[in-house]
Structures are given as C-alpha cells and as structure tokens.
Amino acid sequence: MKLNFGKTLGISVTAVAALTLSACGSDNNAGAPATSGTGSASAAECGGKNSVTAEGSTAQQNAIAEFNKVWSQLCSGKNLSYNPTGSGAGREQFIAKQVDFAGSDSALKGDQLQQAAERCGGNPAWNLPLVFGPVALAYNIDGVDKLVVNADVLAKIFSGQITKWNDPALAALNAGTNLPDADITPIYRSDSSGTTDNFQKYLAAAAPQSWTKGDGSEFQGGAGEGAQKSAGVVQAVQATAGSIGYVEKGFAEQAGIPFAQIDSGAGAVELTDDSAKKAIDAAQFAAEGNDLTLDLNSLYATKEPGAYPLVLATYEIVCSKGYDPDTAAAVKSFLTVAANEGQQNLSPAGYVPLPDRFKERLLTSVEAIA
C-alpha cells in the first residue's frame, strides 16, 4: 500500500484539522479553539481532562517535550506527563492501564496485540507514527570531510568483514577522496537501544546478503567497541581516530561531528530534513485502516532518488476505542496539536517534521479515536 495520502483522501490538512475540531470536543471543553502565537486558530479543540499520562521511548522524549510545551500554550491548563523509561516499559505500562498512551520505537506485535485490545475494552490499539528521527553515521577520519557509504559496506564494517578505510568497496564509493590505510573502529550502543534495533533492521532490509546477524535492541554485529547511550557514542567517535558510529542526528550536530552520506543505488544522499522526508513519503503501511504500522522494509530498502533511508520511526500507541470521553478528547487534542503546531520547532532538535501527505493520514486516524 503506497502512501498516496493526497490522492486517497482528496482533502487538505486544514480540512482534516477542521474535521478534528468537531470530533474532539467534550462537555468540559475550553470553548473556542485557542490561538497560536501567530494569531491563527489552533487545529485542536481543548476538550477533555487537563492531565494526560504517557510512557516509553527515550528517542522521542525531546519531541514530546516540544509537543507538550505547544499544547499547554494553545490549551491553557493542559499538560502531558511523559516518563521516558524505554519502549518496552511504555508498552507494558499502557497494557497495564497505568498510562493513557505509550511511546514506542516498535509497533505492538505478538501477544501484546491481544493484551492491548483487552486494555482497550476489546478494541484494537493503534500504532501511530508521530516522530521521525534520522540516524546519522558519525565518523572520525582525519582529513576526510565527505564520506559516502552504502548498506552493504556498513553491514560489512559492523560485522568485521571490512576493517580498513581504504578497502576497495569504500574506495569505489568515494572516488576522488584519499581514504587512509587505517583501521576502522565501529562504535555501537552497548546498552539496549531502539536505535540499535532500527539500525540493524535497516542493514537487514537494505543488505540482506551481507547482514545476517538479525536485529533487536542488543547489537549483534560482533565487531567494534560499545558505548552507553547516544551521548556515549558521540564521545567514543570523537575520542577514537578511524571510528564510525550510528547516533541520532541531533546528537551528532550538537557535537559538530561530520556524518556520512548514503548511496542506496541512485547516488550519494546527504542527511537533511528534505532527504529524510523523501524516504518517509516512499514508505508503505503494513495494512489498510487506521492502524499506521509501517512496513519498515519499504522505508529502509527504498531506492527513491534523493531519499535518506536510515530514519527511526517512533509510534504513539493509543486505544482506537475504550477510553472514557474526557480521556479520548484530551488524547486527541494533544495528538492533533503535536501533528500540527508541534512540528514547527522539531528540526533544531534533530527530528524530521512530518511531510504534509503523511500528516493528513495521521490526522485521519487521530480523528477516528473514540
């Protein structure tokens, strides 16, 4: 299923937001829609309870903080309490009815699908991809200002099959660049990490013959040096000549570390908001309907020209039905603001603002929450 949102829906983001206004109210709403700092009407009504709870992914916590700030500005008195304990804990707490929704780097699967449906009063839970964060390949090679890699080369580096920077496979991708005869030190996350999981899923999707190690939140490659958390990866790359590591774009930018371009077959692509958006636009959903679980192979194995494919998608896991009216209204209000006004300041934090067509599809699902 290609994400042809505009063609499928035939309506604009504004129209979707307007529909959400009528669907999001409750008996104790705040009256007329709030206004943003620019004086335009907010896309969400400020109904429902004032305090919403969520737990989960650390990868999205800075984006959630931005969404919450904007929500409280547009809807006076509203607040989301988000506990960044990790994706697995978030899913468990959602199933246990301890929080209103979960943040997760992975969609629900297996036994948790049924457990979540039971938590939602016999109704399915939906996985709504709200936050996208590109993963940079930060490197430390003296005298090399531009580096190009591909999935096959990365798979071989992180599994110990390519060990020198002047390896012929790297030289072929970097014509005109004098790569040194120096050892490569891969830097990986030594702690359990959604970034590791998605990096390994990328390698498995885009270079299946070279990456046979599998995926998961623990690094499976067997080569290199481990570092704790994203900040530790940045520090290790900075301190280790000849190193390369995977880390969220925001961390690499803040540290001033260069990061590589990726060639997926249509030429080298620099990591920018636009190139990451192209990969998101080329992605497909796993199924029809309002559950928006992504087919990660379609994202990570894309050959779309100008697309940077190594993008971490994180979800908000919500009940499709089964909330009490005040909780449903508040959750919808928060998510609507997050998908609209909340996107404006994500880029400086290292996230990718939602492409318009993707936003339309997401808002349609948010509107359908009951």
Spacing of C-alpha 201 from chain mean position: 14
58 belongs to an annotated ligand binding site: yes
Find all residues with CB under 8 Å of 2, minimum gap 6, and list them. 284
| Cα–Cα distance for residue pair 255/347, rounded to 1 Å | 16
59 belongs to an annotated ligand binding site: yes
User: CB of 244 within 8 A of CB of 153?
Assistant: no
302 belongs to an annotated ligand binding site: no
Over the Cα atoms of the chain, what is R_g? 21
Residue with tokens 């994500």, as numbered in its chain: 346
197 belongs to an annotated ligand binding site: no
| Cα–Cα distance for residue pair 115/95, rounded to 1 Å | 6
| Cα–Cα distance for residue pair 354/366, rounded to 1 Å | 15
105 belongs to an annotated ligand binding site: yes
> How much of the chain is helix, strand and coil, in % rounded to 5?
40, 20, 40
Strand partners, 243: 140, 185
106 belongs to an annotated ligand binding site: no
Number of residues written out for the chain: 370
- Count of C-beta atoms within a 10 Å radius of residue 18: 14
Find all residues with CB under 8 Å of 140, minimum gap 6, and list them. 237, 238, 240, 241, 242, 243, 244, 257
Find all residues with CB under 8 Å of 158, minimum gap 6, and list them. 186, 188, 203, 211, 221, 223, 224
Residue with tokens 């335009």, as numbered in its chain: 40
Residue with tokens 């780097």, as numbered in its chain: 105
163 belongs to an annotated ligand binding site: no
Interhelix angle 111-119/87-95, rounded to 10 degrees, is 50
194 belongs to an annotated ligand binding site: yes
| Cα–Cα distance for residue pair 249/175, rounded to 1 Å | 25
Residue 322 is encoded by which pair of tokens? 């089964």
| Cα–Cα distance for residue pair 71/333, rounded to 1 Å | 8
Numbered residues of the known binding site for phosphate: 57-59, 87, 105, 193-195
Numbered residues of the known binding site: 57-59, 87, 105, 193-195
